[in-house]
Amino acid sequence: MEIHTPDWVKHAVFYQIFPDRFARGSQSPAPLDNLPLEEWDALPTSHGYKGGNLWGVIERLDYLQDLGFNAIYFTPIFQSASNHRYHTHDYYQVDPLLGGNGALYRLLEAAHYRGMKVLLDGVFNHASRGFFYFNDILENGPHSPWLDWFKIEEWPLSAYDGERLANYIGWAGNRALPEFNHANPAVREYIMQVGEFWIRQGIDGWRLDVPFCVKEPGFWQEFRDRIKAINPQAYIVGEVWRDARQWLDGTQFDGVLNYLFTGATIALTAGDRVIPEIVGDRSYDPYPAIDAVEYAEKIQLLLHAYPWEIQLTQLNLLASHDTARLLTIAGDDISSVKLANLLLFTFPGAPSVYYGDEVGLPGANDPDCRRGFPAKEQWNLELLTCHRQLIALRHSHMALRIGEYRLLGAEGMVYVFTRIWEGDVLIIAINPGTELAKIDLESVGTRLHSQPSYILYATSEEAPEMTTVLWTADNLFLALPPRTGIVLG
């Protein structure tokens, strides 16, 4: 079977926005301008709102475009009684705190004018206690016409009293998130129509929340068929943290959030700097530390797990609203962040940056990883420059977007690979270790039909002077200073 994925994703650099925390717009409607909100700079709480909205995003589009981002992925924006909005009340209404449907339409217009794509978060496994159909059940009990929309077990239901059995299935045992009964054709059709509606309104794709929880046969195949019938270039990406082969066969998703890349990359670049207490309950294995040989094994397994067309539309990331931020995970070590970003922006698939990471916003696990975007005087300009340079490098080299990925060598802490597209050959080498490291790569020139030797990018200003790049016949010898990464072209 021939697999088709959206071409634009292969050239995209995503910026993930948690809308309540990115920016408050100056043109927010009058009824919403005097609400009792949390202080923007105060540490976030689980239930508080800071008042970020889509108007604020519109006002920051120039900032994002200037850095080189050309796609935005939003965590949920639909009406909800939670700051993260995974508790959906109405799938057809953008939350009024975010500006309502009007703000989204203005955002789509402004983003598309700049050539930027917009990806929304689809929470289709479960709804909320405030979702009309479930709320009717709470009001009318067994007399409700919507009983078969959810997984009711016994009566009475207890939606709020934790001392009593809920008597219905909630996602992960959470009674605030009643699970849909996807075996009900009416539920299935409702979700399909929601997906279709927003594609028709102009969004460029869906990120699907916990899609592995929807076990109804053929569900995601139908979802893909109906979305692609409206827009063949719509992007469908699933939140699957582990092996995703059953969803990446070309009939369901175009990619997944590539946490297998995330974990391995952090374990290599941050190593023993990783704070175990922060990552211990997460399932993407950024700890314990690994060396270059182990990293090579993990990356080769990952690259052989899915078809190449799918690899090019994976959504690669280093952090998200579901993890601590990399800077905090790595004990505030800037070198770890820069090395990880070098690997992120040179890996097949679309890189995604979590809002604020580009300016060094810290944050431990939820809710701390969802802080307000910092004021300019708090920005880490070194990390901002790193992101700007790596994004520009990716945009300027087709090899980094759709080129072949070939491992050249892994020894000790040194990892070397190449990206090749026609005559464009780049070599990327990193040494996340604490000592000068050397590696001798035999016959590389013959295999590449090229001898890249000019340093296009380095993770530090001192790195080029301290790095040795020596070609002898077709052999490449590299000596890399500690905590350093380079790109040769």
Cite the active site residues: 209, 239
Torsion 292-294-300-302 (CA) sign? negative
Contacts of residue 282, defined as CB under 8 A and 6 or more positions apart, other chains included, come to 323
Region of 61 (left: φ > 0; alpha: ψ -120 to 50; beta: rest) is: alpha
Tokens of 159: 């939606």
Alpha carbon of residue 193 to chain centroid: 25
Alpha carbon of residue 176 to chain centroid: 25
Indicate the SS3 state at residue 378.
Answer: helix
Measured distance CA(148)–CA(150) in Å, rounded: 5
Residue 346 burial (10 A CB sphere; 0-12, 13-18, 19+): buried
Residue type, 100: G
Measured distance CA(358)–CA(370) in Å, rounded: 14
Whether a cis peptide bond, with omega within 30° of 0, leads into 142 is no
- Residue from 237, 206, 173, 224 nearest 77 by CA: 206
Contacts of residue 435, defined as CB under 8 A and 6 or more positions apart, other chains included, come to 482
The number of C-alpha atoms within 13 Å of 15 and in the hemisphere containing its C-beta is: 27
| Cα→Cα distances 442→116, 409, 418, 476, Å | 43, 10, 14, 7
Cβ proximity of 100 and 93 under 8 Å: yes
| Cα→Cα distances 58→19, 61, 197, 202, Å | 11, 5, 22, 16
Residue type, 432: P
Indicate the SS3 state at residue 25.
Answer: coil
| Cα→Cα distances 226→14, 58, 173, 345, Å | 24, 30, 31, 32
To the nearest 10°, report the CA torsion of 38, 39, 43, 45: 0
- Residue from 318, 360, 278, 355 nearest 72 by CA: 355
Residue type, 314: Q
DSSP labels, 2-28:
-----GGGGG--EEEE-HHHH---TT-
